[in-house]
Chain A
Amino acid sequence: KQEVTQIPAALSVPEGENLVLNCSFTDSAIYNLQWFRQDPGKGLTSLLLIQSSQREQTSGRLNASLDKSSGRSTLYIAASQPGDSATYLCAVQMNTGFQKLVFGTGTRLLVSP
């Protein structure tokens, strides 16, 4: 059974810092890995999608890497801003069945001005 873990569970940083969020998964037979952002009481916003054959994806100040063999992904946020405060979820999409997503435990990020 696929298990996805995120470290740290919570992170508080001052504005301007670069930061790294970690995600690990137990089964490397994945279709892709996705990072999402969730604001309190809201749905999910897709940030980055990395196919299993890819090593990284970049969008603006965000960079996500994937090491499928070791079961790890990192989300790098450069020059953090208060607007980045949210919960960040990684999810792996399985190779089998209906391509369902298995979500990680989440990292709650607070960026203070």
Chain B
Amino acid sequence: GAVVSQHPSRVICKSGTSVKIECRSLDFQATTMFWYRQFPKKSLMLMATSNEGSKATYEQGVEKDKFLINHASLTLSTLTVTSAHPEDSSFYICSAIRDRGTGELFFGEGSRLTVL
């Protein structure tokens, strides 16, 4: 079956540094990927829609300069948390649409970011 891979699965960084999270579709091409953020015991909140070869579309209230998204190829999207602060600590999950006809999409395993 289709697989979406996220890396790293866990990352700890110091306040003020930047962290990059990768999302790869392993056996299909994904023109559209999504980035979500999840707080403990809460549901997923869509942060942005990542489109290959164009600028990402951010949801209201999400700082585009804080959360940089790059979708440089049909199999890779990256999320960079710039100048991270403790309040950025969260679980970040990506997903990719495999079939636009059915809307079928798959999720990565998530990346837990802890900012000290």
Q: Are A and B genuine complex partners?
A: yes
Closest to A95 in B: B103
Interface of A is mostly: strand
- If A43-B6, A43-B93, A44-B107 touch, whether A100 touches B34 (CB-CB below 8 Å) is yes
User: What are the residues of chain B within 8 A of A91 when measuring CB–CB?
Assistant: 44
Chain A interface residues toward B at CB < 8 A: 31-32, 34, 36, 41-46, 49, 51, 89, 91, 93, 97-106, 108
Residues of B98-116 at the interface with A, using a CB-CB cut-off of 8 Å, are 100, 102-110, 112
User: What are the residues of chain B within 8 A of A105 when measuring CB–CB?
Assistant: 43
Closest 9 CB pairs of A and B: A44-B107, A43-B109, A98-B49, A103-B44, A43-B110, A43-B107, A93-B103, A103-B43, A32-B103
A-contact bits for B86-102, CB 8 A (1 contact / 0 none):
00000101010100101
User: What are the residues of chain A within 8 A of B112 when measuring CB–CB?
Assistant: 41
Cβ-neighbour of B110 out of A31, A42, A106 (below 8 A)? A42
Q: Determine the distance from Cα of A36 to Cα of B104 in the docked complex, in whole angstroms.
A: 12
Q: Are B43 and A104 in contact (CB under 8 A)?
A: yes
- If A49-B102, A98-B32, A100-B34 touch, whether A44 touches B43 (CB-CB below 8 Å) is no
Cβ of B74 within 8 Å of any chain A Cβ, yes or no, is: no
Interface residues on B, range: 20 to 34
Cβ-neighbour of B97 out of A43, A45, A99 (below 8 A)? A99
User: What are the residues of chain A within 8 A of B6 when measuring CB–CB?
Assistant: 43
Closest to B104 in A: A49
Q: Are A89 and B49 in contact (CB under 8 A)?
A: no
Q: Are A99 and B46 in contact (CB under 8 A)?
A: no
Residues of B19-54 at the interface with A, using a CB-CB cut-off of 8 Å, are 32, 34, 36, 41-46, 49, 51
Cβ of B73 within 8 Å of any chain A Cβ, yes or no, is: no
